[in-house]
């Protein structure tokens, strides 16, 4: 039984019995395509500001987007290692190399800060929606934003994104970090003027502490990773961007050329938002899978039991500890689990050892260095071919596998070396 396997930390697959055809699922959903367009338009308004505030985004006209590339040598290496022949081609969506914070959190986290700033600036009368948003880099705006505070609970990467973005705009920002957050992330944030609070507990507790601290301050906006629609929609814009990258490479997507997308999942907002966007764009021609560490398998647990956020991995005797920082979450977002119930094709778990090994293999074959979390998705392509439960997905000769590489771009070299050596 799945639950027993999860308890015993066995790598597991779960095919979603509640999956529906897109139109039926979309009809009943509280969010839709128009919401993604709204978020996309907001990011376009901010592009002029990004060009000034983060010059590294100027080459892409102020649009924060990541590379998309084929990884054929990795495909060969996995075929050899696991003794399978994968159909189709294997691609990497490199959110690991997103500007600002080097992880998928540069989508949702940054977006929610921008929306908060835009609302304040418009309400103050200092900004009009048709203005050139580069004016937001002027001192009068940082003065305005300095009256407001932003708080967030994080295992690391969300804190980095929100901390960096908020501090740049001029907000007072506090990041409540769980025990497993890396020292270098805390150091980097402090160097940018971010207040970092440290807790001995896990992610859920850091979020709870952050929420309590924020509630006592009426000028403070708490970014709620577990429930925020704004964060979720910020992530979903990735789908529009990916569509363009696929078009540019002339990659066909239809029923005979399906997309299979493997997304590392922590609390669920990032992968959920991206998957939601992909379903809106590609409908029944895309199949999305959440990938989690065996020791922090909160989403597969919540979805397969139907209990969503009413059950934690600790409830079944698992500690939630993993080398995969961004995925060290014991309780999934109930909002994301419920919303994604008819859209997601399946979930699977992967061991820390396998993530490390895939990390080293990717480095050796493609010279791409990612953090362990980002490798959780890599194994999906193998499962789509070799695992009975997922076998129907990888059977078409012309499928396109997309591994969503969620982080790693800002990991210091000495830390990356340790990851790599562990993998070897
Ligand atoms: C946060 C994170 C994820 C997962 O995002 P959630 O919204 O927590 O599900 C995956 N990979 C990395 C590297 C992350 O930082």
Residue nearest to atom 1 of ligand 1 (CA): 326
Regarding pTM above 0.95, the answer is yes
User: In Å, how far are 167, 169, 196, 326 from 192, measured between CA atoms?
Assistant: 7, 12, 11, 21
Residue 411 CA, ligand 1 centroid: distance in Å: 15
Residue 331 CA, ligand 1 centroid: distance in Å: 13
Residue 418 CA, ligand 1 centroid: distance in Å: 21
Residue 263 CA, ligand 1 centroid: distance in Å: 9
Residue 135 CA, ligand 1 centroid: distance in Å: 32
Per-residue confidence (pLDDT) for residue 179, from 0 to 100: 79
Backbone angles phi, psi at 118, to 5 degrees: -65, -45
Cβ atoms within 10 Å, residue 351: 17
Cβ atoms within 10 Å, residue 59: 10
Structure tokens that stand for 393 in this block: 């997905």
For 49-58, the pLDDT digits (tens) are 999 999 999 9
Per-residue confidence (pLDDT) for residue 182, from 0 to 100: 86
Structure tokens that stand for 143 in this block: 């003065």
For 370-405, the pLDDT digits (tens) are 999 999 999 999 999 988 789 889 888 999 999 999
Residues 171, 143 contacting (CB under 8 angstroms): no
Ligand 1, from 227, 266, 369: best to mutate by most atoms within 8 Å of Cβ? 266
Per-residue confidence (pLDDT) for residue 76, from 0 to 100: 98
List, chain by chain if needed, residues with CB within 6 Å of any ligand 1 atom: 103-105, 157, 264-271, 326-327, 371, 373-374, 406-407
Per-residue confidence (pLDDT) for residue 53, from 0 to 100: 96
Per-residue confidence (pLDDT) for residue 205, from 0 to 100: 82
Nearest ligand 1 atom to alpha carbon 264: 10
Per-residue confidence (pLDDT) for residue 239, from 0 to 100: 98
Please tell me the number of Cα atoms within 13 Å of 367 on its side-chain side.
0
Per-residue confidence (pLDDT) for residue 293, from 0 to 100: 98
- Cα–Cα distance measured from residue 209 to residue 215, given in angstroms and rounded to the nearest whole number: 10
Per-residue confidence (pLDDT) for residue 325, from 0 to 100: 84
Query: Is 178's pLDDT higher than 90?
Result: no
- Cα–Cα distance measured from residue 43 to residue 56, given in angstroms and rounded to the nearest whole number: 16
Ligand 1, from 98, 229, 296, 373: best to mutate by most atoms within 8 Å of Cβ? 373
Across residues 159-188, what is the average pLDDT? Answer: 91
Structure tokens that stand for 268 in this block: 């669920």
For 180-197, the pLDDT digits (tens) are 788 898 999 999 999 999
Supply the angle between the helices 229-236 and 33-53 in degrees, to the nearest 10. Answer: 80
For residues 111-124, b (16+ Cβ closer than 10 Å) or e, as one string?
bbbbbbbbebbeee
Residue 141 CA, ligand 1 centroid: distance in Å: 31
């Amino acid at each position: 039984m799945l639950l027993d396997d999860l308890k015993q930390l066995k790598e597991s697959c779960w095919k979603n019995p509640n999956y529906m055809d897109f139109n039926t699922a979309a009809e009943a959903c509280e969010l839709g395509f128009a919401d993604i367009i709204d978020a996309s338009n907001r990011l376009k308004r901010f592009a002029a500001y990004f060009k000034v505030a983060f010059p590294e985004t100027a080459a892409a006209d102020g649009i924060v987007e990541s590379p998309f590339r084929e990884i054929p040598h990795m495909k060969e290496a996995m075929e050899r290692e696991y003794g399978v022949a994968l159909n189709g081609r294997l691609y990497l969506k490199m959110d690991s190399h997103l500007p600002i914070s080097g992880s998928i959190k540069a989508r949702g986290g940054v977006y929610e800060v921008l929306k908060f700033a835009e609302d304040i600036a418009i309400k103050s009368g200092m900004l009009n929606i048709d203005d050139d948003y580069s004016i937001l880099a002027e001192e009068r705006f940082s003065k305005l934003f300095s009256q407001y505070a932003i708080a967030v609970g994080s295992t690391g990467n969300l804190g980095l994104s929100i901390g960096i973005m908020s501090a740049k705009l001029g907000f007072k920002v506090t990041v409540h970090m769980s025990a497993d957050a890396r020292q270098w992330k805390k150091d980097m944030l402090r160097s940018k003027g971010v207040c970092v609070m440290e807790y001995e507990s896990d992610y859920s507790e850091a979020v709870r502490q952050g929420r309590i601290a924020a509630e006592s301050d009426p000028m403070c906006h708490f970014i709620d990773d577990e429930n925020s629609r704004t964060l979720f929609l910020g992530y979903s814009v990735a789908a529009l961007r990916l569509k363009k990258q696929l078009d540019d490479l002339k990659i066909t997507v239809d029923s005979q050329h399906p997309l299979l997308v493997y997304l590392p999942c922590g609390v669920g907002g990032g992968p959920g938002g991206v998957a939601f966007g992909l379903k809106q764009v590609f409908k029944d021609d895309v199949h999305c899978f959440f990938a989690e560490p065996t020791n922090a398998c909160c989403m597969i647990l919540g979805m397969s039991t139907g209990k969503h956020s009413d059950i934690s991995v600790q409830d079944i005797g698992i500690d939630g500890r993993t080398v995969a920082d961004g995925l060290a979450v014991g309780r999934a977002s109930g909002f994301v689990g419920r919303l994604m119930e008819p859209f997601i094709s399946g979930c699977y778990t992967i061991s820390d050892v396998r993530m490390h090994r895939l990390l080293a293999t990717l480095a050796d074959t493609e010279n791409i260095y990612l953090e362990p979390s980002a490798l959780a998705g890599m194994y999906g392509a193998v499962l789509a071919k070799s695992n009975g439960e997922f076998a129907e997905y990888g059977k078409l000769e012309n499928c396109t596998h997309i591994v969503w590489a969620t982080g790693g771009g800002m990991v210091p070299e000495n830390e990356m070396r340790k990851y790599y050596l562990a993998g070897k």
